[in-house]
Amino acid sequence: MQAKTKELAIRLRRELHRYPELAFQEGQTKQRIIEFIKRHTKLAVVDKGEWFYAVYRAPSAKGNIAFRADMDAVPLPEGIALPYGSAVSGVSHKCGHDGHSAALAALALEIDREGADKDVFFLWQPAEEIGAGALCCLPFLAEHAIEEIYAYHNISGLPKGAVCVKDGTTHFASQGLSIYFEGKPSHASQPELGVNPAYAIANIIRALPALVTGGSYTGEVLFTIVHVEVGTEAFGVSPGSGVLRLTIRAEHEAQMHSLARSITNLAEAEAASAGLKVHFEQQDCFPAVVNHAECAAKVRHAAQDLGLLLVEMDKAIRGSEDFGVFLKHTRGAIFYVGNGEDYPALHTQEYDYPDEMLDTVVAMFKWLAVH
């Protein structure tokens, strides 16, 4: 990457960092990146409202390739002193999407200047953190008959600049499940006159571990209780409603759905036994991210040709990523670049995207674009 390109990318990254926006609120972020691309390249920019892409058209295109970056921040305060620290209270780029967006912008400058023998698409998506952004962009793949798509994520705990990749499942599938119970409130002195959902919720919580350990699962499955609410701080009232919220994760997407069905069946049985009404809501649904073997192999080849440290992932990451939506419809892969073995973890207040990573990411993306 040219020194001038890196300087511009760092400046953009820090500007995005200073003005973070949450999922589906990335209007200013999107506009800043669009203005950057228009100012520094001749690429065509297509604004699709909540998302956009730029495209390099090869004179005699031999196919096409796409690269994706995410734009949204997370609901965490900055927590550390930075000259470009977040100006938005309670919101910051603690997952590195400012760096992902800046790296893709730097790639756009490099490809615009040096060219390629195929059409190269640069896609910026919203709302990765809630698992909804890739779905918005999905028509992009069909519209342009995208042949392969790549993304990366920065990751702590690996040597700085190391490239990490895996065949097959790289991120677990996950979904949020909210279970709502409706009974009947009563005076606390006469609980027998009401229907309190606390006992049904307690029974479900006690039964959940057996659903995970007792199933015939071929991969890892797990649940996390994230919220329980029954009644209020009113000692004279026996409550009549409650909610139990879980996150369900699995290495194999079908097994996540199987566990979810087992949980809803259990909740329906407990509700019927207690005389409660029950209904369910799904939130933050992420598919499994399943790399295509030939694309993961291409990532390995790129790292080796560039003389970078290559690390093979021995198991999938439990955390979710909505890039899996794209990989259900075309070939592609996601890879990871190390922040450093002792670098602060993502989604912590101590974290900030390391600018020196931009060189590695742009080199990897450029290799993939021209080979």
Give residue limits of the domains in the chain: 3-168+289-370, 173-285
The answer to whether the Cα torsion of 337, 94, 19, 81 is positive or negative is negative
- Confidence tier at 139 by pLDDT (50, 70, 90): very high
Q: Spell out the CATH class of 3-168+289-370.
A: alpha beta
Question: Chain centroid to CA 315: how far?
Answer: 18
pLDDT at site 214: 72
pLDDT at site 236: 96
Backbone φ and ψ of 32, nearest 5°: -65, -40
- Confidence tier at 310 by pLDDT (50, 70, 90): very high
The CATH number, out of the four listed (3.90.226.10, 3.30.70.360, 3.40.120.10, 3.50.50.60), of the domain defined by the range 173-285: 3.30.70.360
pLDDT at site 170: 97
Asked if pLDDT for residue 207 goes beyond 90, the answer is yes
In Å, how far are 64, 98, 138, 263 from 143, measured between CA atoms?
12, 27, 9, 39
Report helix, strand or coil for 340.
strand
Asked if pLDDT for residue 348 goes beyond 80, the answer is yes
pLDDT at site 369: 97
Residue 214 or 350, more confident: 350
Cα 117 to Cα 346: distance, rounded to the nearest angstrom: 36
- Confidence tier at 61 by pLDDT (50, 70, 90): confident
Report helix, strand or coil for 299.
helix
Residues 57-81 as b/e (b if ≥16 CB within 10 A, e otherwise) read: eeeeeeebbbbbbbbbbbebebbee
Q: Look at the pTM and tell me if it is higher than 0.85.
A: yes
Tens of pLDDT along 152-170?
999 999 999 999 999 999 9
Asked if pLDDT for residue 231 goes beyond 90, the answer is yes
Question: Chain centroid to CA 27: how far?
Answer: 19
% the chain with pLDDT above 70: 100
Tens of pLDDT along 80-112?
999 999 999 999 999 999 999 999 999 999 999
Mean of pLDDT over the chain: 97
> Looking up tokens 């003389």, which residue turns up?
307
Average pLDDT of 264-285? 97
Asked if pLDDT for residue 232 goes beyond 80, the answer is yes
Specify whether the CB–CB gap between 153 and 68 falls below 8 A.
no
pLDDT at site 216: 79
